Structure 1
Amino acid sequence: MARSTGAVGPSGCAATLTEPGAFGGSLGYAQKLSDDDPALPFTPGVDHGYLGVGLDVLGNCFGDWEHRGNGCETTSPAGTAFRIPAPGANMVTLRGPGDGTTGYCFLTATTSNFSTTGPWPSTLPGQLQGPTTSLPAGVTPAAVPSTYKFGFAASTGLFTDVHLIRNVSVHPAAALPQLNLVKQVSAASDVPLPLTPGQQVPYEYVVTNSGNTTLTDVNVTDDRVTGICCPGTTLTSGQTMTCTGTYTVTEADGLAGSVTNTALAHGTTPGGTMVDSPPSEVTLPVQRGPGLRLEKTVDEDRVYRAGDEVSYTYTVTNTGPTELTGIGVTDDRVDGITCQATTLAPGASTTCTGTYTVTQQDAERGNVINIAFARGQSGATTVESPPDTARVDVVTNRPALRIEKSVDDSRPYRVGERITYTYTVTNTGNTELSDVTVVDDRVTDVTCRATTLAPGASTTCTGTYTVTEADAVAGEITNVAVATADNGTVRSEPDQATVQVESKPCHGKDCHKPCHGKDCEPCADQRCEAY
């Protein structure tokens, strides 16, 4: 049995918890690319999950196989390899924030071994009966959300079982006010930091009636933002709404180096009493003096292999008040990065590009992580951007073939008759195969409709064989075939087929003894047939 129980909350916006995450070793919390096969759907994890507590008997949640922890800098000690048996049996594994197919990173687990060399024994005192009531020191995910939704999911894995969750009690550590407010930068926007003067910042204000009476005249005020818009003015007990507002960064914010604004929610009880929420504030950095910002992007959804070329795009922005010259990008894995422009006016951007070829060492490690920063000059002063990191996953090529041989074996064949064989060859690996052929120990000149197969693709091959006198003596024909590819370096398991052959009648004088006459040579050492 495998269980998952997780407290999930906003990572920029509130979690919906309308459905669990992926099945199997992801335990209903994390994401999953089944069998690490890019041709299969990539199942997302819990929407904006914050913390997953996996109670795992089989132990797959401990490892990062099937892209669990996709895009994470911190990975599981077991890595991304497929392991039999699973690496973390009878273990409680904690995974951090994630959204969609990115994140849900390994945090810690109940094991005494955190090295990359197994085995990884569980330290639970029994068979998943030991309580996990708090996180070990140093593994709490960053930016603890102000509100949570709790969910429970289960995955039976190889078993059919009943999962019982009983006596669950969830309560806040501190009593909530009658009106609660959470202010945040809009989750739908991608606001680059640090901010620059003139830049607009969209804010969301999540207002919740946490009391037991309906509130009217609900609104939000902000000491920096005017014209905040709410979808309504009445909140029933337990109801939530999201208000929005926009702030434009000023030159004064640039001189200060940051901008802090504070918001309050207000409402009125049925008795006419005014209710205010506790204040909620957000502080964002603003560029002060010359500055550069670098945004590095790469196709993270693609699965790379040794020899593949990875293309990176770098967007460099002048975030300061002065012109910058000599713009360039340095990456610890990519050489020869080129930029469309090398001089940037205040607020201007340029695009730079570079490529990297994946090595076998990258494939063995399972990923490529590289760090880049932008550099420019403001007069005699060198200006550097904060670094930006990107990660792509790399898989090891696993070439494989399967052959299925078929023939009409519903009747016996006669000497001189041609037998037609059909061979279905399938690429069961994860890399393209070329020079696909079939070798049969009885059939020559087998022809295939296709000789190049993508992962999962199949082709049909055919060949014929003419029945001989020797086959009639033997009474049957059994032949064995294998499929090969890539100049014979990839071979399938053999498959064989058997058909029956009619014996040639013998017409000797003595039909109760072995035939030894000229007429009986074709069926020597066999009993004669009566005629």
Structure 2
Amino acid sequence: MTQNNSVTGFTSNSSSATMTIPSGATVVKAFLTWSANTGVYTGDTRRLCAQYSAGRGVATMPAGSATGYTNRSVQLKVANAAITDIAPGNVLVDPASQATALYYSASADVTSAFASVPTGTEVTISAGNIWTPTGAGCYAGWSISVVYDYGTYLPNNPASVPHNIIYYEGHVRQGANDADLTVAFNGFTAVAAGTRAGFTLFEGDRNITGDSASYSRGGSTAYTEIPNAAGATGNIGISRAVGSVRYTGTAGTAFTNQSVDVASVPLSNVVAGDSTVNLRLGTSGDSYLLRNAMLSVPTAGLQLVKTFDGTADTQARTATELATFTIRITNTGAGTLRNIVVTDDQANCARSLGTLTLAPLESTTYTCTASAPSSTGYVSTADATARTVVGDFLAQDSDSTTVLLSAISLTKTSALAPGGTGKAGDVVNYTFTVTNTGQSVLTGIVITDPLVGLSAITFGAWPGTAGTLTPGQSVTASATYTHKQSDVDAGSVANTATVSAADSDGGVRPTGQANRVTPIAAAGAVTVTKTGALASGATGRVGDRINYTFTIRNTGNVTLANASLVDPLPGLSPPVVTWPTSTSGVIPVGQAATATAFYTITQADVDAGSVRNTA
């Protein structure tokens, strides 16, 4: 019976398996391993996969070189990705002294093939194009070993607890006459229970017993047997691989891959403090090939999370506002932690937690404030270290959080409306420009201006959501003001506008101010008109009176003060002035003061024929 290559797109010898990478995890290492007969049987020049008999016949070799397995690529398809060719990275072959059919095995690092693998759902992995002879006793198979990592501890997910992974590769044939093989794992210390072992065997036969796998812990000579994939002992190689998918041979009979055993088993006897595990494989009957073995040991882990409030990783602070922090430390490993020390670039946040201990998955939290406010944004980092109670192993982590500067600026300009000259009643157009000069999004932006008589301030088009400015964005607003005479008299209009906003954490509102002095040029001007007429009944004789009337009009743009009327005509009576306001000497714009005086005609005036003078 031969495989019918049911995987679309594969050349030959293809089969599939399923695997689920947990949600939130990333594959950090993956090895593809494959093995088959070489077509060589020790002591026989014919191409064989088993001892020759007339009924079995000889094996049919793949086209090309008889050692094509040393460089022939296999094909791999992960989930919905395209089929890729995988060149062998490490090829090992039985020594010629092996007294049976010879096998080869190969492996390659295929981590990149899992870069985009879906997580949290079962995916199908297919491999094929394995170089192998076909015939009686011939086999070919593959396995894949995957190490995944969550990158950090995930609350309420015990699977994210860190483990120390030890992975060995090799090529060891085990037969009935061979001494037991011991794979020694060391260089670690288990800080709690939960150690697991895994291995890949090729060419194990279910109907031949006597083969076994067992382990010992901590240097003990007592071994505990590992049951096979069916839960039985005394027959570790039964050609059952975790995740294998059944396929159909050319004879139409459904069967699974009959050449590979892949197992991942708990080593329940390994306890906290153990630093060695020996994996022993032997056989008194069935022969097989061990290609790899691995150990997963719970190790110390610590997670430090530094945030604003336990959730948000950024906060916004004005230049006068202290940042606040929440620091949470979690034992993300196996084994209890002690001697927990936190160092921090903010002295107020450094801690030595004294006698506090944290059991696995237990946390402690505290809050602190920055040492001083800052006129710039910054990143604040905390580092934590701890030691396990068992083994005194170091666990450490660090985390950073960002403090954004919350700042806003305001500029204010003014200009007379067209046609204005700077007189009372002229309209001044004010323009306000608000800019987010910080690093945090600002909302609820409000401009206030205490100038009495200023119209409502109206915003123009916002660059995005109304009332919101992202860092670097600006918006303009406008208002109008009508000059009062008091403004013109003062020579300017001075006032201060203020802008405020809310930042992302709702603390102190950032503010900005803009002072504006709008100058008004003084243009003082006055006209004086003077009329004179003979008094009633006068004829122009000596002694007759001339009555004079004066009009003093303010034709400028400022109120006149300390006004006075002077007329140098000798003999003129002191002018009697009527002022337009209750204050002598004050003439408002556009108004006039009037005055009267009289003069008695002299003989010289009569002789001259007129009286001339200038007031």
Give the alignment's TM-score, normalised by structure 2. 0.32
User: Which structure: larger Rg?
Assistant: 2
Higher strand fraction: Structure 1 or Structure 2?
2
Looking at both structures, which has the greater relative contact order when contacts are Cα pairs under 8 Å and sequence separation is at least 6? 2
